[in-house]
Amino acid sequence: MTFEQLHAQLQSKDALIGVIGMGYVGLPLALTFVEAGTRVLGFDLDPSKPERLTRGETYLKHIPSRRITDATATGRLAATSDMSRLKDVDIILICVPTPLTKTLEPDLGFVTATATEIARYLRPGQLVVLESTTYPGTTEEEVRPLLETSGLQSGQEFWLAYSPEREDPGNAQFATAQIPKVVGADDDQARTLVAALYGIFSDQVVEVSSSRVAEATKLTENIFRSVNIALANELKTVYGAMDIDVWEVIDAAKTKPFGFMPFYPGPGLGGHCIPIDPFYLTWKARQYGQTTRFIELAGEINTHMPNRVVDALEQQLQQQQAQTLSGANILIMGLAYKKNVDDVRESPALRLMALLEQRNASVSYHDPLAAEIPSTREYPELTGRRSVAWNPEQFAIYDAVVIVTDHDGVDYAALTRTAKLIIDTRNVCARTLDADMSRVHKA
């Protein structure tokens, strides 16, 4: 297929789009393309995902099954675990994880394995787009050489581009189609094609000059958040020592109509982006002899927050109940990394549970959206633990409750009336009508 033919197919929505990775990024992206009138073939090595999609079932809490059944009913959505079918699609979107190693270095294993697999089936006339968040240079230096092992040349027989995912699971205000799409490529034809691709559903496609610029754009967005959250976390500690409520300070400061943007403290960062992405840049910067002290300091502050929560919990137990953490019975309220989603990746709740158990505390958790702790590389000992039932009257058996995730729909007022001690890392109790704040400590 020629450039002109593929471009025409994109403009007429006749192209078949393949999405590799039917998770938190790939599934909403696939559904958005289908809803815009384009055919999509989803790929995932976990066979249960294509099977459930074929049955019209969801496996992500923030995506209703009705949206999937509507998509499959159009006949434009299909899913498979058969990677050989990559030869059938016109576009290949890579939406796979990019985690860190234990030494905080980029782990591109999923990306390189996927690119190697694509190369087995790559045919002339296809467009390949990397969406996974990564350091500048990945598309050009890592993905392109692997794809070219197929014998085809990028920019001549196939095209390669980068467009960072900007998903915010659980955010009802900004769905995939409402978020401007940044696209970058290293040749004009690839840039034209990737812009046409995302123009199928996006009213605002932002073209940048190269894949490196697009990669750097995504890192900059998440580093901005990481640094500002670290500042809020540090201010919480400083103002707390002065007996000043940092949440009240931030709420007052945000009334200024210019020059201030509110960020709030918490028990630590979670999710697959903000705790990880800054370290992708710090690692790459060292190859250029550059230091990233500001970014690394923010990472250290945010990473240390669960330890500060444990310290605050221990202090309050000693002051109010003359008790140590050893032998204490603790309930973690909320396992997900953010409110109103079931995603526990990099959740500070997992770190808190591990830290507390290292101090010989007995730890349970309740989360209405995360019934069971999945297998994780960092905390295999927590795998399979299940959420305790919601029963505020029974919560008095715990020496303390630590609120980590402030899901909507939880009766925090009832919790404040029965729990012996509450460590509130989200300030949710203070925002709850009829809450009894006498046993609530903000941390």
pLDDT at residue 176, rounded to an integer: 81
Residue 69 in this model has a pLDDT that exceeds 90:
yes
Residue 270 in this model has a pLDDT that exceeds 80:
yes
Assigned CATH for 3-209: 3.40.50.720
Residue 272 in this model has a pLDDT that exceeds 80:
no
Domain 224-442 in the same topology as domain 3-209 = yes
pLDDT (tens digit per residue) in 304-344: 999 999 999 999 999 988 899 999 999 999 999 999 989 99
Q: Which of 93, 232, 273, 335 is catalytic?
A: 273
Residue 178 in this model has a pLDDT that exceeds 90:
no
Pick the CATH number of 224-442 from 3.40.50.720, 3.40.1190.20, 3.40.50.300, 3.30.1230.10: 3.40.50.720
Whether 273 is catalytic is: yes
pLDDT (tens digit per residue) in 103-156: 888 999 999 999 999 999 999 999 999 999 999 999 999 999 999 999 999 999
Helix/strand/coil (H/E/C) assignment for every residue in the chain: CCHHHHHHHHHHCCCEEEEECCCCCHHHHHHHHHHCCCEEEEECCCCHHHHHHHCCCCCCCCCCHHHHHHHHHCCCEEEECCHHHHHHCCEEEECCCCCECCCCCECCHHHHHHHHHHHHHCCCCCEEEECCCCCCCHHHHHHHHHHHHHCCCECCCEEEEECCCCCCCCCCCCCHHHCCEEEEECCHHHHHHHHHHHCCCCCCEEEECCHHHHHHHHHHHHHHHHHHHHHHHHHHHHHHHCCCCHHHHHHHHCCCCCCCCCCCCCCCCCCCCCCCHHHHHHHHHHHCCCCCHHHHHHHHHHHHHHHHHHHHHHHHHHHHHCCCCCCCEEEEECCCCCCCCCCCCCCHHHHHHHHHHHCCCEEEEECCCCCECCCCCCCHHHCCCECCCCCHHHHHHCCEEEECCCCCCCCHHHHHHHCCCEEECCCCHHHCCCCCHHHEEEC
Residue 273 in this model has a pLDDT that exceeds 90:
no
Mean of per-residue pLDDT scores for the chain: 95
pLDDT (tens digit per residue) in 35-68: 999 999 999 999 999 999 999 999 988 899 999 9
pLDDT at residue 268, rounded to an integer: 94
User: For the chain, which residues make up each domain, given as ranges?
Assistant: 3-209, 224-442
Residue 92 in this model has a pLDDT that exceeds 80:
yes
pLDDT (tens digit per residue) in 386-428: 999 999 989 999 999 999 999 999 999 999 999 999 999 999 9
